[in-house]
Amino acid sequence: MPLNRRKFLGRSAATGAGVALAGGVAAPLAEAAEAADAADAAVVPGAARPGKRPRRYSFTVMGTTDLHGNVFNWDYFTDKEFDDKDHNDVGLAKISTLVSAVRKEKGRRNTLLIDAGDTIQGTQLSYYYAKVDPITAARGPVHPMAQAMNAIGYDAAALGNHEFNYGIPVLRKFEQQCDFPLLGANALDAKTQRPAFAPYSMHRLWTPHGRDVRVAVLGLTNPGIAIWDKANVQGKMTFPGLEEQAAKWVPRLRSMGADVVIVSAHSGSSGTSSYGDQLPYIENAAALVAEQVPGIDAILVGHAHTEIPEYLVENKKTGKKVVLSEPLKWGQRLTLFDFDVEWSKGRWRVVKAGAKVLNSNAVAEDRRITRLLGDEHKKVVAYVNQVIGTSKEAMSTAEGPYKDVAIIDLINHVQAETVRAALAGGAYAKLPVLSQASCFSRTAKIPAGEVTIRDAAGLYPFENTLEARLITGAQLKDYLEFSARYYVRTAVGAPVNPAKLTNADAIPDYNYDALYGVTYEIDIAQPVGSRITKLRFDGKDLDPKAEFVLAVNNYRASGGGNFPHVAAGKQVWANSDEIRNTIISWVKAKGTVDPAEFASVGWRLTREGAPVF
């Protein structure tokens, strides 16, 4: 979709000039207050008059991130109320209750509400309105996330990388449906290198002491979009580094009169990247922005799916402490940034800033939100419960992270079969097809008997698509060694606790791959890099020079997880349909799922040749 320059400049001018006033303050009143304050400053420049108390004002900025399509406290994959081992709750209906309580305590006009991105992807609710009943259709529906966030009263939201999963037209339609700006200072038009979205928004908070407090929100998104959603953004948008763009925009915001600058960054705080050297930018750069760019008061952190109530980072140039906070994903937490400002030398200055998080499981859902979207919720529940086939046996991912289980073999089998059929009759038809898959959820299940859309979709909660890349036997060995870093080194004879065996060095489950089409063992007693043994294809030791086709998801193929060789490998086929839809279509076509047709023990954990399980 072409960029609408007039629309962008209009929105940018409106937000940049501070026309959008928080708390319903009319522009003439604000101007009158500003004039009176200027006259006062002209009599006695600087802070409060001698003998007078300094003029102070306090306000709160609330923040969410990584909502991922969660409105209700509901798990569409299990078809019941959401719950986890820590008894967290999820959803904007819960967040709405917390926000209302904070506004009641602080005063509505003394608060702002912002988000740090990844809003329109992640649940079957958000999928339904992107793919099944798309918001882009003629007279299409309003996206549930737009409806909920408008009703709650968000003031601004940064773009997340998953905003681009469904393509730019869906994102632009969502943007049109929101009553608040979507911000992305480092999401640039590929041709003009100008911002493709509003870079910032300016908000004015009324004070009883004259001039309003001007609060600027700068939005920064993740440069990894250029890799992860290459098919959707290549040639249309570019995504430079967060530090670079923050250094460009923060001084501008200060020169425009911003008293407080808050960055909403869809970027974690660890300073690491999951895609290695695929891009010259840091994926999780929020702390580096705070450290390197002067003039920032606080950063709402997103993307990493971790909970950081408060994290203080010292700016190297000014020595000032910048407060960072990341609320837990899916609406499980709400961040509160509390600011105290003082009038000094003709402007408001931050004298105190802190952060904390509120837990959404402490409150009930806001019935105003659940009523508003009740019909949408019912439609999606009916959709995901459609029966698409039957299974002869029950299958589960519960042991998938440390055992070769049938349900992961199902994913791999469907992927390999799909690629093999696509390559038939072509130049690569005679090459063996292998496949990779990860255990995305440890609670996914295929029951014995009827299989529904939600059962099949639960195996693949991400909107990944399928590709085929060329790989050699030697490269395959490197790939498996890299994947095997996932296991904690465990000496021969030492007790093995499955709960503590995986996720070494905080490697997430989705960055451990099981390969299908070869057999191998992983010796967890050995150091990283020397764990893969008995690697065989068709019963024979793998030839390092042999060539294979690897069926691989687009995240891994584009460098996600920094696995070796695949991103640089030749692409011989790619598909635009989500892998989970491919699985659903396969089950529909087969009618009956029989693990005996595809399941086998292709890999196992060992110690000096002895099986661990």
| CB hemisphere CA count around 581 (13 angstroms) | 13
Quick one: pLDDT at residue 281?
85
Separation in Å, CA 363 to CA 131, 308, 604:
32, 20, 45
Q: Which one, of 405, 415, 411, lies nearest residue 466 by Cα?
A: 415
Dihedral sign of CA atoms 152, 153, 159, 165 in order: positive
Tell me: the pLDDT tens digits for 544-584?
Answer: 999 999 999 999 998 889 999 999 999 999 887 789 989 99
Decide if pLDDT at 15 tops 70.
no
Residues constituting the chain: 613
Q: Measured between alpha carbons, how far is 294 from 259 in angstroms, rounded to an integer?
A: 14
Quick one: pLDDT at residue 85?
85
Taking all residues of the chain, what is their mean pLDDT, rounded to a whole number? 90
Quick one: pLDDT at residue 578?
84
10 Å CB burial of residue 132 (0-12, 13-18, 19+) is exposed
Q: Which one, of 379, 286, 369, 285, lies nearest residue 331 by Cα?
A: 369
Helix (H, G, I), strand (E, B) or coil at 67: coil
Decide if pLDDT at 7 tops 90.
no
Decide if pLDDT at 215 tops 90.
yes
Helix (H, G, I), strand (E, B) or coil at 52: coil
Helix (H, G, I), strand (E, B) or coil at 592: strand
Quick one: pLDDT at residue 184?
98
Decide if pLDDT at 50 tops 60.
no
Q: Measured between alpha carbons, how far is 202 from 503 in angstroms, rounded to an integer?
A: 42
What is the number of H-type helices and E-type strands within the chain?
18, 31
Tell me: the pLDDT tens digits for 493-522?
Answer: 999 999 999 999 999 999 999 999 999 999
Mean pLDDT score, 228-256: 94
Percent of the chain at pLDDT exceeding 70 = 90
Helix (H, G, I), strand (E, B) or coil at 274: coil
Quick one: pLDDT at residue 277?
59
Q: pTM for the whole thing?
A: 0.79
Paired tokens of 79: 């078809």
Q: Which one, of 121, 155, 220, lies nearest residue 21 by Cα?
A: 155
Q: Which helix (H) or strand (E) holds 575?
A: strand 571-578
Helix (H, G, I), strand (E, B) or coil at 414: helix
Which pLDDT band holds residue 463 (cuts at 50, 70, 90)? confident
Could you tell me if 1 and 168 are in contact, meaning their C-beta atoms sit under 8 angstroms apart?
Answer: yes
Tell me: the pLDDT tens digits for 105-155?
Answer: 999 999 999 999 999 998 999 999 999 999 999 999 999 999 999 999 999
Quick one: pLDDT at residue 278?
57
